[in-house]
């Protein structure tokens, strides 16, 4: 049983470039979440999907951030026109939704550095 | 609004010592869910435990134990006979019952360093 995987693990980019991260959830999980973690802080929620539907996106940090989960399996998080303040760890989690408060299982994260 | 506070930013102990990590939460809900995660240097958050607000029994799992006290809004985590492999950042987190998205609210984390 494989866990949540994320690709790439590290990304270095120049300010103004676009970046895209991929997350593959645990296979039977119907919910997928994105979080951002800055140095020395706890993760903060960005968005989540149930199957292919994006049910919450108001906490995406700006309109430069967008996420998709086109077939209800893997998901991508894109940041357009990156800024130095976007440098952080981007974490993906998945869960099987049975009711309230699913347990979320996290991937290893993608560490983004914007120069 | 909900909030999780981990007042201890960093703790250093010597191997085999017991150590307690504190977690205090705020929520207006009467039903809520509390979690602990471990983040080793590799970066992946590892799930440790989940506790429902209506179940105040303490729990023990090997060297790990958790003390949940609704009266003080605390959910503390104790590692008995700590080992070097326990070195990590530990996060306490909360989900409120009316949170349809199951969004986790995390505390700031406690960095535990276990020295040999």
Tens-digit pLDDT profile for residues B2-60: 899 999 999 999 999 999 999 999 998 888 999 999 999 988 999 999 998 988 888 88
**Strand B64-69 to B10-14 pairing:** unpaired
pLDDT over 80 at B66, yes or no:
yes
With beta carbons less than 8 A apart as the criterion, state whether A93 and A102 touch. Answer: no
Provide the pairing of β-strand A105-106 with A88-95.
antiparallel
Count of A–B CB contacts within 8 Å?
69
**Residue B98 predicted with pLDDT over 90:** no
Q: Is B43 on the interface with A (CB under 8 A)?
A: yes
* B4 sits in which H/E element: strand B3-5
Chain A contact for B71 (CB, 8 A cutoff): no
Q: Are A97 and B102 inside 8 Å of each other by CB?
A: yes
Residues of B whose CB is below 8 A from A59: 103
Over 70: is that where the pLDDT of B84 sits?
A: yes
> Among A32-36, A71-75, B50-54, B99-103, where is mean pLDDT lowest?
B99-103
* Chain B touched by A90 (CB under 8 Å): no
pLDDT band at A26 (very low <50, low <70, confident <90, very high): very high
Contacts of B106 in chain A (CB under 8 A): 42-44
The answer to whether A95 touches A103, Cβ cutoff 8 Å, is: yes
């Amino acid at each position: 049983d494989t866990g949540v995987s994320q690709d790439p693990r590290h990304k270095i980019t120049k300010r103004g470039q676009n970046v895209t991260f991929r997350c593959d959830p645990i296979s039977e999980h119907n919910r997928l979440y994105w979080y951002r973690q800055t140095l020395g802080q706890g993760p903060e929620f960005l968005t989540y999907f149930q199957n292919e539907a994006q049910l919450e996106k108001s906490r995406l940090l700006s309109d430069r951030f967008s996420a998709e989960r086109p077939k209800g399996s893997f998901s991508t998080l894109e940041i357009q026109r990156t800024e130095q303040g976007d440098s952080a760890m981007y974490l993906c989690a998945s869960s099987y939704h049975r009711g309230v408060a699913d347990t979320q299982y996290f991937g290893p994260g993608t560490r983004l550095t914007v120069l | 609004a909900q909030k999780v506070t981990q007042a201890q930013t960093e703790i250093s102990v010597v191997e085999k010592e017991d150590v307690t990590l504190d977690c205090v939460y705020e929520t207006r809900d009467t039903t809520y869910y509390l979690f602990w995660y471990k983040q080793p240097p590799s970066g992946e958050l590892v799930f440790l435990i989940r506790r429902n607000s209506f179940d105040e029994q303490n729990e023990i799992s090997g060297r790990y134990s958790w003390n949940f006290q609704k009266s003080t809004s605390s959910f503390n985590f104790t590692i008995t006979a700590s080992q070097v492999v326990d070195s990590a950042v530990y996060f306490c987190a909360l989900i409120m019952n009316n949170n349809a998205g199951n969004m986790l609210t995390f505390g700031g984390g406690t960095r535990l360093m276990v020295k040999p």
